Structure 1
């Protein structure tokens, strides 16, 4: 794998960038069960969710693909 590609689990400090990607997906998505008007999660809520998942083995964690220091993809 090239050195400028990183795959890792999400951290609490990634919350705002993850939320930004989620909002972009919801805005572009035609066949999603959530529409943009319903998606109103805050950065603090996202951060709390990530911290909860990090301490709970039964939750699904986000995996991040980072290319040249830019978040490209999140996989729940």
Structure 2
């Protein structure tokens, strides 16, 4: 059994369009798609610093990876 990995991700959303583009409403309690070059596995814990539109401070969030797009595959997400 492998150990649980964690990571820190930064996400900057400049406007409502960017927020809607990464929001995943089908995830229970909501979720965000966060593109990253870091490698994660399903279940990994993540810490996110979210810069939301015109807020002065970054919002700290914790979460869990529920979706991984395999390297080299294209999708409709950013």
TM-score (norm 1): 0.24
TM-score, with normalisation over the residues of structure 2? 0.24
Specify which structure has the higher proportion of helix: 1
1 or 2 for the larger relative contact order (CA 8 Å, sep ≥6)? 1
